[in-house]
């Protein structure tokens, strides 16, 4: 983890933030797309050790243009959906912007049964206090999201 939100260090990272009964994640990166990918890593890392999970597939998610909050929620919702519906855990996320302002997320997945549970599994993304945006001075992106567990 390099720097932190608003550090001006030009790095990317994520961290969990104490929150009553739920999980709160902060992520930061030089771009919107890397910030969303860091939020995915932060969410998955909060509940699972995936170091021994073998990659088994890749899911490509196309998110249409919209407010940045909606784009972030769409990607995180897909991570939860894959876990709940298909038993797939996201091992890595590569997020790129699309020409129309949307996102394309390549989610590398593995069998969730191979992961070691280390925390409460997420159930949904809360819209309360959701925030994503670029710092007007540095241009670095950060986001904060609460995850219902």
Mean pLDDT of 118-122: 91
Q: With CA atoms as reference, report the closest residue to 92 among 109, 78, 104.
A: 109
Q: Tell me the per-residue pLDDT of 88-115, one tens digit each, with 9 for 90 and over.
A: 999 999 999 999 999 999 999 999 999 9
Residue 14 has pLDDT above 50, yes or no: yes
Q: State residue 1's pLDDT score.
A: 38
Q: State residue 65's pLDDT score.
A: 97
CA dist 140 and 70 (Å) reads 19
Model confidence, pTM: 0.89
Q: Tell me the per-residue pLDDT of 46-90, one tens digit each, with 9 for 90 and over.
A: 999 999 999 999 999 999 999 999 999 999 999 999 999 999 999
Q: State residue 18's pLDDT score.
A: 60
The verdict on domain 25-118 having CATH code 3.55.10.10 is yes
Other CB atoms within 10 A of residue 94 CB? 15
Share of residues in the chain with pLDDT > 90 (%): 80
Q: 29 with 140: CB under 8 angstroms?
A: yes
Q: What are phi and psi of 54, to 5 degrees?
A: -80, 135
Sorted by sequence, the CB contacts under 8 Å of residue 85 that are 6+ apart come out as: none
Q: State residue 17's pLDDT score.
A: 67
């Amino acid at each position: 983890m390099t720097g932190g939100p608003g550090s001006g260090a030009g790095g990317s990272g994520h961290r969990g933030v104490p929150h009553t009964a739920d999980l709160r994640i902060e992520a930061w990166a030089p771009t919107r797309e890397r910030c969303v990918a860091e939020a995915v890593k932060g969410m998955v890392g909060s509940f699972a050790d995936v170091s021994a999970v073998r990659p088994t597939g890749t899911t490509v998610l196309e998110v249409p243009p919209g407010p940045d909050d909606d784009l972030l929620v769409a990607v995180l919702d897909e991570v939860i959906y894959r876990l709940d519906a298909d038993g797939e855990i996201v091992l890595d996320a590569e997020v790129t912007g699309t020409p129309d302002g949307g996102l394309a997320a390549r989610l590398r997945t593995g069998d969730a049964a191979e992961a070691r549970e280390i925390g409460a599994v997420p159930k949904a993304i809360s819209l309360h206090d959701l925030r994503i945006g670029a710092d007007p001075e540095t241009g670095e992106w950060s986001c904060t999201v609460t995850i219902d567990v």
